[in-house]
């Protein structure tokens, strides 16, 4: 199993779109190098790592106009909330 994740750095208003086999391990490793709290907003379960890379790439292209650097994108809450609600489970289901 592999995942595409969306991790928010709310102080810099940036969201990271990446993939990993273990979201918990990835969040921990990102947090170690970041002085601000990071928050997992959403994830998508994929069949395998190759599938995750393809899904991740499609989201990088979809949000290219918000690209900051690497896998970090400007966080547009309404745009991402709509995506997360379409995709299913996320913290936004409570809204």
Tens digit of pLDDT for each residue in 28-86?
Answer: 999 998 899 999 999 999 999 999 999 999 999 999 999 999 999 999 999 998 888 88
Task: Quote the pTM value.
Answer: 0.88
Q: In the prediction, which pLDDT does 63 show?
A: 96
Closest CA to 42 of 16, 68, 67, 14: 16
Q: In the prediction, which pLDDT does 86 show?
A: 82
Contacts of 49 (CB under 8 A, 6+ apart): 2, 19, 21
Distances (CA, A) of 60 to 21, 49, 56, 57: 18, 16, 6, 5
């Amino acid at each position: 199993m592999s995942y595409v994740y969306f991790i928010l750095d709310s102080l810099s208003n940036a969201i990271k779109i990446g993939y990993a086999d273990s979201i918990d391990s990835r969040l921990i490793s990102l947090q170690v190098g970041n002085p601000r709290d990071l928050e997992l907003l959403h994830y998508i379960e994929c069949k395998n790592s190759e599938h995750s890379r393809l899904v991740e790439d499609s989201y990088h292209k979809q949000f290219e106009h918000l690209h900051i650097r690497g896998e970090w994108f400007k966080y547009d809450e309404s745009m991402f909330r709509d995506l997360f609600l379409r995709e299913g489970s996320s913290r936004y289901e409570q809204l």
